[in-house]
Amino acid sequence: MITTDVLIIGAGAAGLMCAAQAGYRGKSVVVVDMGKKPARKILISGGGRANFTNEGASPENYLCQNPHFVKSALSRYSAQDFIDLVDRHGLQYHHKTLGQLFCDDSAQDLVDILMTECEWAGVAVNLRTEVLSVTKNSQGYLVTTSDKIYHCKSLVVASGGLTMPKLGATPIGYKIAEQFDLNVLETLAALVPFTLHEHDKQRFDGLSGISLLTEITSEDGTSFQENILFTHRGLSGPAILQISSFWRAGQAVTINLLPEYNLSDTLTQWQSEQGQKSVKNLLATLLPKRFVEVLVKEGVIADKPIKQLNHQDIAALSDYLHAWQIKPNGTEGYRTAEVTLGGVNTDELSSKTFESKKQQGLFFIGEVIDVTGWLGGYNFQFCWASGFACGQAV
Ligand SMILES: Cc1cc2nc3c(=O)[nH]c(=O)nc-3n(C[C@H](O)[C@H](O)[C@H](O)COP(=O)(O)OP(=O)(O)OC[C@H]3O[C@@H](n4cnc5c(N)ncnc54)[C@H](O)[C@@H]3O)c2cc1C
Question: Residue range 305-322: average pLDDT?
Answer: 96
Q: Answer whether residue 166 shows pLDDT above 90.
A: no
3-state secondary structure 135-181: EEECCEEEEEECCCEEEEEEEEECCCCCCCHHHCCCCHHHHHHHHCC
Contact 365, 387 (CB under 8 A): yes
What mean pLDDT is predicted for residues 272-296?
A: 96
Categorize the per-residue pLDDT at 299 as very low, low, confident or very high, splitting at 50, 70 and 90: very high
pTM here is 0.96
**Short-list 110, 103, 145, CA closest to 124:** 145
Q: What is the mean pLDDT of residues 134-139?
A: 95
**Shortest-distance Cα residue to atom 33 of ligand 1:** 10
- Shortest-distance Cα residue to atom 21 of ligand 1: 41
Sign for the pseudo-dihedral over CA of 26, 31, 36, 39: negative
* pLDDT of residue 14 exceeding 90: yes
- Residue 150 Cβ inside 6 Å of ligand 1? The answer reads no
Number of H helices and number of E strands within the chain? 13, 21
* Cα dihedral sign, 49-55-61-63: positive
Is the CB–ligand 1 distance for residue 16 below 6 Å?
Answer: no
**pLDDT at residue 228, rounded to an integer:** 98
Q: What atom in ligand 1 is closest to the CA of residue 378? A: 11
Residue nearest to atom 38 of ligand 1 (CA): 170
CA of 134 to the centre of ligand 1 (A): 21
- Taking the centre of ligand 1 as the mean of its atom positions, its distance from the CA of residue 42, in whole angstroms, is 7
Distance between CA atoms of residues 323 and 259, nearest Å: 10
- How many angstroms separate the CA atoms of 126 and 79, rounded? 28
- Taking Cα atoms as reference points, which of 381, 315, 394 lies closest to residue 59? 381
Percent over 70 (pLDDT), the chain: 100
Query: Does 226 sit in the ligand 1 pocket, CB within 6 Å?
Result: no
Q: Report pLDDT digits (tens) over 62-83.
A: 999 999 999 999 999 999 999 9
C-alpha 332 to ligand 1 mean position (Å)? 18
pLDDT at 195 over 90: yes
Query: Domains plus CATH for the chain?
Result: 2-189+337-391 (3.50.50.60), 193-331 (2.40.30.10)
237 lines ligand 1 (CB under 6 A): no
Binning pLDDT at 50, 70 and 90, where does residue 297 land? very high
Atom of ligand 1 nearest to the CA of 368: 26
The Cα-based distances of 89 to 82, 83, 110 in angstroms read: 11, 10, 9
Q: How confident is the model at residue 331 (pLDDT cuts 50, 70, 90)?
A: very high
Q: What does the pLDDT read at residue 168?
A: 87
**What does the mean pLDDT of the chain come to?**
97
Q: What is the pLDDT of residue 388?
A: 98
pLDDT of residue 40: 97
Tell me the average pLDDT across 120-131: 98
- Whether 170 is in the pocket of ligand 1, judged by its Cβ within 6 Å, is yes
Rounded Cα–Cα distance for residues 231 and 196 (Å): 10
Cα angle, residue 248 at apex, residues 246 and 250 outer, rounded to 5°:
140
Question: Which is the closest atom of ligand 1 to the Cα of 53?
Answer: 11
Read off the pLDDT of each residue in 37-45 and give the average, rounded to a whole number.
97
Distance (angstroms) between ligand 1 centre and the Cα of 43 equals 10
Contact indicator for 4, 361 with CB cutoff of 8 Å: no
Which stretch of 47-51, 108-112, 301-305 has the lowest confidence by average pLDDT? 301-305
Backbone torsion region of residue 153, taken as left when φ is above 0, otherwise alpha when ψ lies between -120 and 50, otherwise beta: alpha
What pLDDT band is residue 194 in, cutting at 50, 70 and 90? very high
Mean pLDDT for 332-339 is 96
Contacts of 370 (CB under 8 A, 6+ apart): 64, 65, 185, 341, 342, 343, 344, 345, 346
CA distance 223 to 215: 7
Q: How many CB atoms lie within 10 A of CB 87?
A: 11
Alpha helices in the chain (DSSP H): 13-24, 40-44, 71-76, 79-88, 107-120, 172-179, 198-203, 238-244, 263-273, 279-283, 289-297, 311-322, 378-391
pLDDT in tens, 216-254: 999 999 999 999 999 999 999 999 999 999 999 999 999
Q: How far apart are CA 78 and CA 97, in angstroms?
A: 19
CA distances from 147 to 37, 129, 135 (A): 16, 6, 16
